[in-house]
Chains A and B, each alone.
Chain A
Amino acid sequence: MPDLGRYALEVSLAYGVSLLLLVGIVAVSVAQSRRTKRLLDEAEARWKK
């Protein structure tokens, strides 16, 4: 860990918040993609019957 001096809180907070938001948008996008794919597969299976 580098020595962040008297700004350690600010730098850590900036990285923490940003990484949380980036991970969040990736997680939400992947979850929505999986859910929609499953719903479409079900709808197509129903329609083919």
Chain B
Amino acid sequence: MSFWEYANPRRFMAFTDRVMGPAFVLAAVALSVGLVWGFFFTPDDFRQGSTVKIIYLHVPSAFMAINIWVMMLVTSLIWLIRRHHVSALAAKAAAPVGVTMTLIALMTGAIWGQPMWGTFWAWDPRLTSFLILFLFYLGYMALWSAIEDPDTAADLTSVLCLVGSVFAFLSRYAVNFWNQGLHQGASLSMDAEENISDVFWFPLLVCLAGFFFLFLALVLLRTRTEIRKRRAHAITLRERAA
């Protein structure tokens, strides 16, 4: 069976009906285990003290904020190239989850920054590109709401998504491009020597899995909602025409 068959709303609804429940369960289990492990059973850092516990929220939410935009970019490109409605609706469904993740990353970063850097905010390259990404999320959602015709809205928001991808990319790599600003290097790296100590790393991995499964469950639920809205709108139009 081809992946593209899930572009059929009926097949998508049938498939996600089976997948969504387990995704919610996995999210609940991983988040509970990861956050309880991180909060209650990890030591304080010798420099950061107990504020190190904030990484279990900050790093996964920042990771998801960037990657949700990447997912929106892929589904927007699928819409622009292949005109599958489900992909455009999936991008629309992902945006409120993305904005929530971005907000969590910004707020937890600010709360951590005050005692560690002595300020809630600095116009640092990574922080600034993250703030712009947050504004792009808001603009993307506002554009969907502002245009009545769903296909036109999908076209224009897809173009906005392409432009916003620059800031999603910068949010991830700004610390590598500019050797200035307060934000430290990436906490997540494929290079084991650059990673944080195992005692923090393992609960962080569980939290990352939890945030991923929560996003997966929410995006499936919200895409199903968008498909139903579209169907209800089509029926209303037919009723008016009849």
Contacts and interface: CB of A to CB of B under 8 A. Distances in A.
Interface residues of B, number: 38
Contact of A13 (B40, B111, B231): B111
Interface of A, secondary structure class, is: helix
B230 to A, nearest CB: 10
B229 interface: yes
A5 B44 contact: yes
Interface of B, secondary structure class, is: helix
B126 interface: no
B235 A44 contact: yes
Contact of B224 (A2, A25, A33): A33
A6 B218 CA distance: 36
Contacts of A17: 104, 107-108, 111
A13 B110 CA distance: 11
A37 B218 CA distance: 16
A18 B229 contact: no
Contacts, number: 99
A31 B50 CA distance: 36
Contacts of B104: 17-18, 21-22
Contacts of B236: 43
B152 interface: no
A29 B108 contact: no
B218 A25 contact: yes
A14 B221 contact: no
B232 A14 contact: no
B50 A7 contact: yes
Interface stretch (B51-59, B128-136, B178-186): B51-59
Interface of A: 2-8, 10-11, 13-15, 17-18, 21-22, 24-26, 28-30, 32-33, 36-37, 39-40, 43-44, 46-47
Closest A-B pairs by Cβ, 5 of them: A4-B50, A43-B235, A25-B100, A18-B57, A40-B232
26 contacts: A4-B50, A5-B44, A7-B50, A13-B111, A14-B58, A14-B108, A17-B107, A18-B61, A18-B104, A18-B108, A21-B100, A21-B104, A22-B31, A22-B100, A22-B104, A25-B96, A25-B97, A25-B100, A26-B214, A30-B221, A36-B229, A40-B228, A43-B236, A43-B239, A44-B235, A47-B238
